[in-house]
């Protein structure tokens, strides 16, 4: 499998996916 | 005016814009520019005159950003890094920023020194350093996306998390 960080779009999409995951992590930590 | 947090916030934003701005310059502009310049033998100008200057401001802006951020957290430094519910968003953002800072000083800069000839290296070592610095830099671009989201959310949890 190609490393997503080799392309700019792959990097940006990985960052957005990570943002969604961490959004739910913080939501769970806050208890919201 | 509460001088310490106000000035810390201002410096945190100024240095953060410089740090992340230069990170985006490297990834969105310089990588592609170097490839094109190498094809017509003009890459020397970028690696001799542009990259060292950009890297200087990049790595020191990362330190100033972190220190101003730590000062801004003040007594809540522990609450943030321990991800207490009251500081979970800014705390996770602070963790991402800290990983990025360590990445700059622990991986990107030592490898860039080999690439730019500040530290002696063979061609093979330079190629390895190029790949390592590239991936570490891309990793930081990826982390910067949730980091900036969490920094923006930190002071506005009602808007971002409804809490």
pLDDT digits (tens, 9 = 90+) for B128-161: 999 999 999 999 999 999 999 999 999 899 899 9
> Is the CB of B89 less than 8 angstroms away from the CB of A19?
no
pLDDT (average), residues B57-66: 98
Is B99 a residue whose pLDDT tops 70?
yes
Which among A3, A15, A30 has CB closest to B85?
A: A30
pLDDT tens column, B17-36:
999 999 999 999 999 999 99
Confidence bin at A31 (pLDDT 50/70/90): confident
Is B1 a residue whose pLDDT tops 90?
no
Per the structure, the complete domain to which residue B90 belongs is given by: 3-161
A9 min Cα distance to partner chain B (Å): 10
Mean pLDDT over each residue of chain B, to the nearest integer: 96
> Is the CB of A15 less than 8 angstroms away from the CB of B162?
no
Residues 6+ apart with CB under 8 A from B123: none
Confidence bin at B115 (pLDDT 50/70/90): very high
Q: For chain A, what is the HEC assignment?
A: CCCHHHCHHHHHHHHHHHHHHHHHHHHHHHCC
pLDDT (average), residues B44-66: 96
Q: Pick the closest to residue B18 from B67, B73, B50, B64 (CA basis).
A: B64
pLDDT of residue A32: 57
Domains held by chain B: number: 1
Which among B88, B145, B150 has CB closest to A30?
A: B88
Mean pLDDT over each residue of chain A, to the nearest integer: 94
Contact B136, B115 (CB under 8 A): no
Which among B88, B142, B150 has CB closest to A15?
A: B142
């Amino acid at each position: 499998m190609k490393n997503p960080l080799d392309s700019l779009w792959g990097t940006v999409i990985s960052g957005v996916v990570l943002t969604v995951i961490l959004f739910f992590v913080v939501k769970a930590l806050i208890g919201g | 005016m509460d001088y310490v947090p106000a000035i810390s916030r201002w410096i945190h934003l100024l240095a953060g814009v410089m740090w992340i701005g230069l990170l985006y310059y490297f990834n969105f502009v310089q990588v592609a520019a170097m490839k094109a310049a190498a094809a017509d033998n003009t890459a020397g100008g970028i690696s001799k005159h542009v990259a060292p200057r950009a890297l200087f401001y990049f790595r020191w802006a990362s330190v100033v950003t972190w220190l101003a951020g730590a000062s801004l957290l003040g007594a809540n430094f522990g609450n943030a890094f321990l991800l207490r519910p009251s500081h979970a968003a800014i705390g996770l953002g602070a963790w991402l920023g800290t990983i990025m800072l360590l990445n700059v000083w622990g991986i990107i800069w030592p490898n860039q020194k080999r690439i730019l000839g500040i530290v002696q290296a063979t061609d093979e070592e330079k190629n390895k350093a190029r790949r390592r610095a590239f991936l570490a830099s891309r990793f930081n671009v990826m982390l910067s996306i949730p980091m900036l989201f969490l920094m923006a959310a930190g002071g506005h949890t009602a808007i971002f998390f409804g809490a």
